Amino acid sequence: MFKKIRFQMIIVIAIVSIVIFGVLSMTIEKKLNELKIHERNFYSEITRARADELSKELQGHLNKVHMVAHSDFMESMDVESILPFLSSLLNHSDFKGMTIAQPDGQAWTTYGAHIDIRAQEQFAKIFEQNKLYAISNPFYSPYFYDDVPIITLSYAIQRENTTVGLLNAVLTTRFMETIISDIQFDSYGYAWIVDGNGRIVAHPDPEIDIIHDYTKVIKEIDVQPFTAGSGFFNYVGYNDENMLAVYSTIHNTNSWKLVISVQESQAFSQLISVMNYIDTAIIISLLSLIVFAFIYARTLTNPIVKLTEVFRRAEKGDLSVVADTTIQNELGVAGHGFNRMLDEIKNLTFVDPVTQVPNYRSYLLDADRLTREHPTKQYYVVVLSVDDFKKINSMGGYGFGNETLKQFADLLGSTLYAYELIARYFGDEMILFLHAENQELVRLRVQRLLALAQRPFKIMDIEIHLSLSCGFASHESEQEVETTIHNATLAKLKAKKLGGNIAVFFEDGIQQEIKKEQDIESELFKAIEKKELYPVYQPIVDLKTMQVSGFETLLRWNHPLYYQESIQTIITIAENNSQIIEIGRYILNEAILELKRLNQTHPDMVVALNVSALQLKDTHFITFLKNRIKVIGVNPENLCIELTESTAMDDVEVKLMDLHQIKAIGCKIAIDDFGTGYSSLAYLSRFPIDHIKIDKSFVHKMMNDEPTRQLVSSMITLAHNLKLEVVAEGVETLEQVDLLKSFGCEMIQGYYISQPKRMEDLEY
Ligand code: C2E
Ligand code: CA
Ligand code: CA
């Protein structure tokens, strides 16, 4: 903005100066033009004086002719005696010849010719117009000087006031050339003569043809020249120079004009140099004024411009700017205030208020700076997330959670070396920027962090220990820090998926895994519509009777690419993006329809259905279940809802309510994958459940492993104590069947009986 003001100031000053100097130079120009007129008048004076001189010269010659013509001797017009007299006169004059003529045009010349002069112009003037004398225009005479034009000076011979004859004297034009060549102005000016018709009478340049008109001299002209008795005009000469012509009439002639031609540049050379000098002076002063204005405006506005620049950069988010506080005026004070405010903002912008460690924004800037300043170090981004942080929050509220995070941050911070960073990423996640010589060394450090977090913390008198999911990735200097963070985050997600309390290094494989997940996700969206999803059923057999007592419903996906993908993986993906809700409803509906068909022939057979944690969280799940049972019309007691142990034990108070609601509908409930989670016995006894399903991993292991065998036996005893029936999963061999029978297990399920199949392919 202030740059604009500075610019405007300069423009205003420049315009004002230009106007002042414009007026000034116009005035000077006017004065100089007046001088020009004076200069021209000077040339006019010369021309007039020289023209007068010429006319006097002519007059002199004319006087001679006059004297002869008026001698008494001439009155007789006795040609015989006059001619020798005239010839004798020629020796003492410039005349080249003389002629005496009678009124009838008969004439005799001193060079012995007898001619008729009626066609000559002087004949008409003297005899017809009764003029006393006449000067002819120059012409080439057949009798004289072939290459030199001549003029004739004629006088009337009178007897008692009557013209009885005519005397002609012939002069070459040379005498005029002598006069005009005297008129010279160095190299730039010369004189010449034209007659009343504009034909050249005399010219100093022998190349110029006499008797031709003035266009031999004047190449270009805007006006009709020689119109007045005297005057001036400008023209372009044959050398393409701008010429000034000043002319004046030569009296006693047929309106001959003496012309003085001068090169304008030369004529006004002094004037022009004065004008150039003034112009240069004006331009220099003008430029100096503008430069001065610019410098002045700069010194005045520079501090303001700098301060605005600082404001602007800060506004754009560059908080590293510092305002100049050395200026000794209000601007310095403003700079001080701004810097203080910026410190405040920096604190608010770059520090996480909960943990008092830098925030993510600060991390990005600092990591970027570190990589630039120490390019030889190998850096690693480490993302750490607290497993089950919700649990910590629910233990003691948000204050407790915040305090935990703060201590966690302090703990991480205490392990850092120079040129390393810590920041709060978001939520329960912290992010580190470490350097190490190789990946194994970072892994060791991260492992140590995991171990440190496992040690008990004391927060508000409560002892807790933290389990961390950690992802780390090496930062290549040519890549953006954010890319490395993204990679480390993907590795952390993998760590979470693997169950937490683990550190995962980012490798390209993770990226492909993620890509595949995304592909599966988008394919899954179309799966229901394309009828690619369908249920299969696996029989559950009563060990006492060895008869099928029911079926577990399991999902399958008939997809050209992913049909072999474990359905567990697909379900995890569907759970991550809530597609499981819709898929779950579809499979629930299918299972109840199947149960309806089944009960028509086998009224006591049960159909079990897997329900995931996310499905259970859906507030409409219970309503939907109730509605389907009622609309399709099945006995709810023949429907068993299977919940995994970890689903049931997460947020138990809520789960208790959910389970009671399911129970209220009349459905049976089974705890799936029993033994893999951490069941609290206290809760287990309060849950309204009917079966536990021992996870297949125990069934597989128990044949070769005594402790596992013991464990399976205890689980069955425990279940019986709680009045629950036991289903053993993954039973594949007769030996397993026998052992389970010996433990008192009620039911078995597994490949020993049948693979999960479409209902029409099953025998029961
Ligand atoms: P689950 O509920 O524990 O289901 C039993 C799993 O054991 C099934 O795997 C089944 O095919 C497999 N199985 C049965 N007998 C044997 C055996 O003798 N040996 C071995 N090795 N495996 C056996 P499946 O079908 O791949 O399902 C995996 C998991 O996916 C299920 O574990 C269940 O948690 C989930 N699931 C399957 N269908 C659904 C569904 O419709 N909804 C929900 N929410 N989860 C489902
Ligand atoms: Ca199951
Ligand atoms: Ca299971």
pLDDT in tens, 233-291: 999 988 888 898 999 999 888 889 999 988 887 777 767 777 777 778 878 887 887 78
Which ligand minimizes its atom distance to the CA of 538? Answer: 1
Q: Which of 554, 566, 729 has most ligand 1 atoms within 8 Å of its beta carbon, as the pocket-test mutant?
A: 554
* Confidence label for 449 from pLDDT (cuts 50, 70 and 90): very high
Residue 738 lies in a domain: yes
Position 577 scores a pLDDT of 82
Instruction: Please report the atom of ligand 1 found closest to the CA of residue 580.
Output: 44
- Return the CATH number at 532: 3.20.20.450
Q: Any idea which of 254-258, 336-340, 434-438, 616-620 has the lowest mean pLDDT?
A: 336-340
How many Å lie between the centroid of ligand 3 and the Cα of residue 378? Answer: 45
Last residue of a domain, which of 479, 506, 533? 506
Which ligand minimizes its atom distance to the CA of 674? Answer: 3
Position 457 scores a pLDDT of 86
* Confidence label for 149 from pLDDT (cuts 50, 70 and 90): confident
Q: What angle, 0 to 180 degrees and rounded to 10, lies between the N-to-C axes of helices 481-497 and 508-527?
A: 70
CB atoms within 10 A of CB 228: 11
Q: How many domains does the chain have?
A: 4
Instruction: Please report the atom of ligand 1 found closest to the CA of residue 567.
Output: 26
Last residue of a domain, which of 282, 301, 324? 282
What is the mean predicted confidence (pLDDT) over 386-396?
85
Residue 2 has pLDDT above 60, yes or no: no
Q: Any idea which of 226-230, 445-449, 655-659 has the lowest mean pLDDT?
A: 226-230
pLDDT by residue (tens digit) across 704-739? 999 999 999 999 999 999 999 999 999 999 999 999
* Confidence label for 187 from pLDDT (cuts 50, 70 and 90): low
Mean of all residue pLDDT scores within the chain: 89
Q: What residues make up the domain containing 718?
A: 523-761
Give the residue, by CA position, lying nearest to ligand 1 atom 26: 567
Q: Are residues 584 and 648 in the same domain?
A: yes
Q: Does residue 178 or residue 61 have the better pLDDT?
A: 61
Position 75 scores a pLDDT of 83
Ligand 1 pocket, 590 CB below 6 A?
Answer: no
Q: Are residues 465 and 544 in the same domain?
A: no
Residue 2 lies in a domain: no
The DSSP code for 358 is: B
Residue 159 has pLDDT above 70, yes or no: yes
Q: Three-state DSSP class for 149?
A: coil
249 Cα distance to chain centroid: 75
Q: Are residues 491 and 639 in the same domain?
A: no
Position 347 scores a pLDDT of 77
Residue 358 has pLDDT above 70, yes or no: yes
Position 145 scores a pLDDT of 59
Q: Any idea which of 19-28, 46-55, 649-658 has the lowest mean pLDDT?
A: 19-28
What is the mean predicted confidence (pLDDT) over 464-472?
94
Token digits for 212? 């031709």
Instruction: Please report the atom of ligand 1 found closest to the CA of residue 535.
Output: 41
Last residue of a domain, which of 267, 282, 297? 282
Ligand 1 pocket, 610 CB below 6 A?
Answer: yes
Instruction: Please report the atom of ligand 1 found closest to the CA of residue 587.
Output: 41
How many Å lie between the centroid of ligand 1 and the Cα of residue 554? Answer: 6
How many Å lie between the centroid of ligand 1 and the Cα of residue 751? Answer: 12
Q: Any idea which of 252-266, 322-336, 353-367, 694-708 has the lowest mean pLDDT?
A: 322-336
Indicate the pTM of the whole model: 0.52
What is the mean predicted confidence (pLDDT) over 395-407?
89
Helices (H) and strands (E) in the chain, counts: 23, 28
Instruction: Please report the atom of ligand 1 found closest to the CA of residue 751.
Output: 18
How many Å lie between the centroid of ligand 3 and the Cα of residue 539? Answer: 14
Ligand 1 pocket, 555 CB below 6 A?
Answer: yes
Alpha carbons 402 and 333: distance in angstroms, whole number: 40
Q: Are residues 342 and 368 in the same domain?
A: no
How many Å lie between the centroid of ligand 2 and the Cα of residue 512? Answer: 29
Give the residue, by CA position, lying nearest to ligand 1 atom 35: 568
* Confidence label for 295 from pLDDT (cuts 50, 70 and 90): confident
Residue 170 has pLDDT above 70, yes or no: yes
Residue 495 has pLDDT above 90, yes or no: yes
Q: Does residue 181 or residue 487 have the better pLDDT?
A: 487
Q: Any idea which of 164-168, 318-322, 378-382, 570-574 has the lowest mean pLDDT?
A: 318-322
Q: Are residues 377 and 486 in the same domain?
A: yes
Which ligand minimizes its atom distance to the CA of 616? Answer: 1
Q: Are residues 331 and 238 in the same domain?
A: no
* Confidence label for 762 from pLDDT (cuts 50, 70 and 90): very high
Q: Are residues 344 and 368 in the same domain?
A: no
Alpha carbons 510 and 471: distance in angstroms, whole number: 11
Q: Does residue 373 or residue 174 have the better pLDDT?
A: 373
Handedness of CA 600, 601, 605, 609 (dihedral sign): negative
Percent of the chain with pLDDT over 70: 98
Question: Burial level of 726, CB count in 10 A (0-12/13-18/19+)?
Answer: buried
Token digits for 296? 């002045």
Position 478 scores a pLDDT of 87
Residue 545 has pLDDT above 90, yes or no: yes
Residue 174 lies in a domain: yes
Token digits for 591? 């299972």
Residue 483 has pLDDT above 70, yes or no: yes
Position 161 scores a pLDDT of 84
What is the mean predicted confidence (pLDDT) over 332-354?
83
Residue type, 171: L
Give the residue, by CA position, lying nearest to ligand 1 atom 16: 730
What is the mean predicted confidence (pLDDT) over 346-362?
88
Position 1 scores a pLDDT of 53
Q: Are residues 465 and 566 in the same domain?
A: no
Token digits for 100? 């005496």
Q: Any idea which of 129-133, 268-272, 398-402, 645-649 has the lowest mean pLDDT?
A: 268-272
Alpha carbons 310 and 319: distance in angstroms, whole number: 9
Q: Are residues 612 and 722 in the same domain?
A: yes
Q: Which of 583, 610, 647, 671 has most ligand 1 atoms within 8 Å of its beta carbon, as the pocket-test mutant?
A: 610
- Name the one residue in this structure whose structure tokens are 């003085």: 260
Residue 269 lies in a domain: yes
Residue 631 lies in a domain: yes
Position 760 scores a pLDDT of 95
Determine contact, residues 403/457, Cβ cutoff 8 Å. no
Ligand 1 pocket, 750 CB below 6 A?
Answer: yes
What is the mean predicted confidence (pLDDT) over 659-688?
89
Ligand 1 pocket, 540 CB below 6 A?
Answer: no
Residue 35 has pLDDT above 70, yes or no: yes
- Strand order of the sheet with strand 106-109? 114-116, 106-109, 97-101, 162-172, 150-159, 133-135
Token digits for 229? 């008795």
Alpha carbons 721 and 726: distance in angstroms, whole number: 11
Residue 330 has pLDDT above 60, yes or no: yes
Q: Are residues 119 and 90 in the same domain?
A: yes
Ligand 1 pocket, 513 CB below 6 A?
Answer: no
pLDDT by residue (tens digit) across 408-446? 999 999 999 999 999 999 889 999 999 999 999 999 999
What is the mean predicted confidence (pLDDT) over 106-113?
88
Alpha carbons 241 and 710: distance in angstroms, whole number: 128
Give the residue, by CA position, lying nearest to ligand 1 atom 4: 554
How many Å lie between the centroid of ligand 3 and the Cα of residue 733? Answer: 18
Position 3 scores a pLDDT of 63
Q: Does residue 14 or residue 117 have the better pLDDT?
A: 117
Residue 9 lies in a domain: no
Ligand 1 pocket, 261 CB below 6 A?
Answer: no
Which ligand minimizes its atom distance to the CA of 613? Answer: 1
- Return the CATH number at 142: 3.30.450.20
Ligand 1 pocket, 673 CB below 6 A?
Answer: yes
Residue 380 lies in a domain: yes
Alpha carbons 455 and 19: distance in angstroms, whole number: 86
pLDDT by residue (tens digit) across 557-604? 999 999 999 999 999 999 888 899 999 999 999 999 999 999 999 999
Ligand 1 pocket, 172 CB below 6 A?
Answer: no
Torsions phi, psi of 446, nearest 5?
-65, -40
Position 689 scores a pLDDT of 95
Q: Does residue 82 or residue 334 have the better pLDDT?
A: 82
Q: Are residues 457 and 374 in the same domain?
A: yes
CA dihedral 723, 729, 732, 735 (to 10 degrees): -30
- Return the CATH number at 400: 3.30.70.270
Residue 121 lies in a domain: yes
Determine contact, residues 97/79, Cβ cutoff 8 Å. no
Alpha carbons 651 and 668: distance in angstroms, whole number: 21
Ligand 1 pocket, 600 CB below 6 A?
Answer: no
* Confidence label for 311 from pLDDT (cuts 50, 70 and 90): confident
Which residue blocks in 196-268 are alpha helix, DSSP H?
264-267
Q: What is the DSSP string of 77-128?
A: --HHHHHHHHHHHHTTSS-SEEEEE-TTSEEEETTS-EEE-TTSHHHIIIII
Ligand 1 pocket, 290 CB below 6 A?
Answer: no
Q: Which residues surround ligand 3, an ion (CB under 5 A)?
A: 672-673, 729
Instruction: Please report the atom of ligand 1 found closest to the CA of residue 673.
Output: 3
Instruction: Please report the atom of ligand 1 found closest to the CA of residue 732.
Output: 18
β 189-194/257-263 pair status:
antiparallel
Q: Are residues 332 and 391 in the same domain?
A: no
Give the residue, by CA position, lying nearest to ligand 1 atom 45: 610
Which ligand minimizes its atom distance to the CA of 571? Answer: 1
Position 85 scores a pLDDT of 87
Position 92 scores a pLDDT of 78
Position 146 scores a pLDDT of 61
Residue 153 has pLDDT above 70, yes or no: yes
